[in-house]
Amino acid sequence: MPQKLAPLIPEDAPFTEPQRAWLNGFLAGLYSYAPSPQLAAMRVAVLYGSQTGTAEGLARKLAKHLKSAGCDAVLSSLEGYVPATLAAEKHALFIVSTYGEGDAPDAAQAFFQQLCVEHFPLLQNLEYAVFGLGDAHYEHFCQFGKDLDAKLDSLGGVRLLDRVDCDVETDVAFAAWKNALDARLRKAALVEGVETRNEAASYAPSQSATAAATGSPVASREHPFAAPIVEKRTLTAATSTKRTIHLSFSIDGAQMEYEAGDACGVAPRNSPELVDTILELLPFTGNERVEAPKAGTFPLRQALLEKFAITRLTRNMARQYSSLARCAWLDAIMKPEQQEELERYLHGRDLIDLLRECPGAIQTIDDLVRILPRLTPRLYSISSSPLAHPGQVHTTVSVVRYQTHGRHRGGVCSTLLDDRVEVGDRLPLYIHPNKKFRLPQDPSASIIMIGPGTGIAPFRSFLHQRRITGATGRNWLFFGERSAATDFLYREELESMAADGHLTQLDTAFSRDHGHKVYVQDLILHHAKRVWAWLEEGAYVYVCGDAFRMAKDVDRALHSIVAAQGAISQEAAGDYMHRMKENRRLQRDVY
C-alpha cells in the first residue's frame, strides 16, 4: 500500500522558523501513526560533533530511535569518521555544537578542515540534515552548524530538511526535528524502493528511552538528586573585585558516580524578588495553575521560581511578545533589516524590562507561558576527586553580578548559591560526564594544566586524583587571576602540593598586580623551552576556562612554541597541534 507522506509547511508560510519546525514535526508525528514502510536496509549515518556531550547525547538518542525503526543507523563522532566516506553515504544526519566565537568543537575541527580542502569529493548522492546546537546569547549562534550546512550544500549534498539552529533548550526542537526526519526518510525510502519487510514494526517514535528513564534510580538531569550542601566558603578575599565560592555537596546515598574531569549540573531557582516584580507587572496573583513543559502543573509563582527562565531576553521571546503587543518601536526592531538594533536591545535586558517598556501585552496565563523558555540546569566543572573526596561533589563558582540598563543583575545559579543557600540546604544535582576531558590512562605520563579563574576546578580534581592513585607523572599547573592577595583560589592546597613536589611546577599569572597585564600564556611563552621538552616527552596538555579570549590566546602561544622550539613551519606546527588533539594529548574544557 503506498505510504501517505506528511505534508510539509512551505518555506514562505507566515511562520517563524521554530514554529515551522514544530508544525512539520507535529504533522510528521500524526502521519507516523499510519501504517508505514519499514526502513530496513536504509543506511543512515548519524554523526555528531560534541564538546560537552550534549550533541553526542542527542545523536545517541536519534540513532537508537532510527534503529528501533529498522534503519541501519551508524553512529559516529566526527572525530572518528573519515570525511571521504561521506561521498559514499546516501543519508547523513549531523548534530553539532558551536563553541567560543562560532568555532567547531575540537572533535569536529579536523573533519571540517578536510571537508574544506580543494577537490574534496562531490556529495551528489548525499541527502543530509544538520541540527545545530548553540546559545542564542552569543553573536555567532550555531555558527558551526551553519558553516557545515553551507559546506555540504556547496559540495552538492541535498538537504533532507532545513537546518535547525537550536538554543540551549533542546527538547522541543529536537523532538520536532526527529519527527520531521521520520517523514523525510520514509519518503526517501519510497523513492529508493526500499522494501517493506515487516509490517508489524511500524515507524513510530520509540518510547523505550522515556520508559527507561522514568523511575530510574540513577540521578540524572531529568531525575536529579537533592544533594545537601555540606560546605560553603569564599575563595576570594572580601576586598577582591570579584567573588568566587567553593561548595561541597554530599552525594551519600545517591546513585551517582563521576570521574575527574566531569561536570555537575545544578537545577537553579530564580530570585523571589524578580518573580515578585514580574507578578506586580502582570494581571495575575501568582496562585493561578500553570502547566510547565515536561514538569507538571504548578501555581504560577512557583513555576516562575523553578521552571521558567526569566533573566535573559532572547530573540524568540521578543518575537513572540511583539506578536501580542501593540508596540511600534518593538515591531520596528523585529524587522529582518533591524537585526543589529534588536541585538542591541536584547543585550543585558530581561523579561522585566520588556514588561515595563512595552506594557499590557500579556493578558492570559497562556500568553505568558508561551513566551517563556524553560529554566535549565547550570553546569559546573567538578573540583573534587571521586577517590580523595568520597561521597562528595565540589564546585568552584564565580559569582556573576553586573549592572545594565539601570538595574543590578546577576547569574541565576551563581547568585542563588552565593545569596540564598546555606550548609544543610539541598539542591537538585546530577553528574554531567565530560569524556573529552580525562587524565591520561598512563599514570606515568606528565600533564600540563592551564586553568585561570574557575578553570582551576578540574585541575584541583586532577591533582587530588593523581595523588591518591599514586600517579608518578609530573604535574605542571599554570593558574591566573586578578590579584595574588585576594584571588589566589585554593592557594594553601596548591602551595602545599608544590612544596611537597606533587605539583612539579606551579606558575601563577596575577593580571592586575603589575603595571601591565600578565596572563597564563605569557608564562607559557616564558617557559617555552621547558614546555617544548615536556611536549616532546609525551606530556598531555589541558586547558580549562574562558573560551573567548584565554583559550584562543593559549592555543596561539602553544602553536608558536611548537614552531619556534621545534624549528618548524607554522603549518607543520599546526599539524603537530592537530596530532596532539587527535591523540587526546591536547584536551580543552572551555566555556
Q: Binding of ligand NAP at residue 18 (CB under 6 A)?
A: no
Q: Left (φ > 0), alpha (ψ -120 to 50) or beta: where does 296 sit?
A: left
How many Å apart are CA 123 and CA 90, to the nearest integer? 9
Among 174, 453, 463, 541, binds ligand NAP (CB under 6 A): 453
3-class DSSP assignment, residue 544? strand
Q: At what angle do helices 457-468 and 491-499 cross, to 10 degrees?
A: 40
Spatial contact of 475 and 447, defined as CB atoms under 8 Å apart? yes
Q: Least distance in Å: CB of 268 to ligand NAP?
A: 10
| Residue whose CB is less far from ligand NAP, 435 or 556 | 556
Among 56, 167, 546, 589, binds ligand NAP (CB under 6 A): 546
Say how many residues touch ligand NAP, by CB under 6 A.
23
**Among candidate residues 418, 466, 414, the one with its CA nearest the CA of residue 444:** 466
Q: Least distance in Å: CB of 356 to ligand NAP?
A: 25
Q: Least distance in Å: CB of 514 to ligand NAP?
A: 10
Q: Least distance in Å: CB of 194 to ligand NAP?
A: 46
| Residue whose CB is less far from ligand NAP, 162 or 553 | 553
Q: At which residue does the C-alpha cell 559546573 appear?
A: 380
**Among candidate residues 373, 374, 377, the one with its CA nearest the CA of residue 428:** 377
Among 353, 553, 555, 582, binds ligand NAP (CB under 6 A): 553
**Sign of the dihedral through C-alpha 454, 468, 493, 394:** positive
Q: Strand pairing partners for 99?
A: 103
Among 18, 25, 386, 411, binds ligand NAP (CB under 6 A): 411
Q: Least distance in Å: CB of 556 to ligand NAP?
A: 10
Q: Which stretch binds ligand NAP (CB under 6 A): 88-96, 97-105, 278-286, 479-487?
A: 479-487
Tell me the residue type at 469. Answer: T
Burial of 67 (0-12, 13-18, 19+ CB in 10 A): middle
How many Å apart are CA 380 and CA 429, to the nearest integer? 11
Q: Binding of ligand NAP at residue 373 (CB under 6 A)?
A: no
- 567-to-323, 529, 570, 575, 585 alpha-carbon distances in Å: 61, 12, 9, 14, 21
3-class DSSP assignment, residue 431? strand
**Sign of the dihedral through C-alpha 410, 414, 418, 421:** positive
**Which three cell numbers mark 487?**
584571588
| Residue whose CB is less far from ligand NAP, 322 or 521 | 521
Spatial contact of 430 and 225, defined as CB atoms under 8 Å apart? yes
Q: Binding of ligand NAP at residue 555 (CB under 6 A)?
A: no
How many Å apart are CA 333 and CA 352, to the nearest integer? 18
| Residue whose CB is less far from ligand NAP, 32 or 383 | 383
| Residue whose CB is less far from ligand NAP, 386 or 452 | 452
The DSSP letter of residue 84 is: G
| Residue whose CB is less far from ligand NAP, 225 or 591 | 591
Q: Binding of ligand NAP at residue 344 (CB under 6 A)?
A: no
| Residue whose CB is less far from ligand NAP, 398 or 465 | 398
3-class DSSP assignment, residue 389? coil
Q: Strand pairing partners for 128?
A: 92, 159
Q: Least distance in Å: CB of 431 to ligand NAP?
A: 19
Q: Least distance in Å: CB of 380 to ligand NAP?
A: 9
| Residue whose CB is less far from ligand NAP, 97 or 454 | 454
Spatial contact of 475 and 568, defined as CB atoms under 8 Å apart? no
Q: Binding of ligand NAP at residue 482 (CB under 6 A)?
A: yes
| Residue whose CB is less far from ligand NAP, 86 or 133 | 133
Q: Which stretch binds ligand NAP (CB under 6 A): 207-215, 292-300, 449-457, 468-476?
A: 449-457
| Residue whose CB is less far from ligand NAP, 70 or 480 | 480
| Residue whose CB is less far from ligand NAP, 262 or 589 | 589
Q: Least distance in Å: CB of 346 to ligand NAP?
A: 17
Q: Radius of gyration (Cα) for the chain, nearest Å?
A: 25
Q: Least distance in Å: CB of 4 to ligand NAP?
A: 47
| Residue whose CB is less far from ligand NAP, 66 or 541 | 541
Among 81, 519, 534, 542, binds ligand NAP (CB under 6 A): 519
Among 289, 426, 512, 529, binds ligand NAP (CB under 6 A): 512
Q: Binding of ligand NAP at residue 350 (CB under 6 A)?
A: no
Q: Binding of ligand NAP at residue 478 (CB under 6 A)?
A: no
Question: What distance lies between CA 374 and its chain's CA centroid?
Answer: 15
How many Å apart are CA 265 and CA 52, to the nearest integer? 12
Q: Binding of ligand NAP at residue 405 (CB under 6 A)?
A: no
Q: Least distance in Å: CB of 255 to ligand NAP?
A: 27
Contacts of 558 (CB under 8 A, 6+ apart): 524, 531, 541, 577, 586
* Interacting residues with ligand NAP between 237 and 296 (CB under 6 A): 242
For ligand NAP, the binding residues (CB under 6 A) are 242, 398, 400, 411, 414, 452-454, 480-482, 511-512, 517, 519-521, 545-546, 549-550, 553, 591
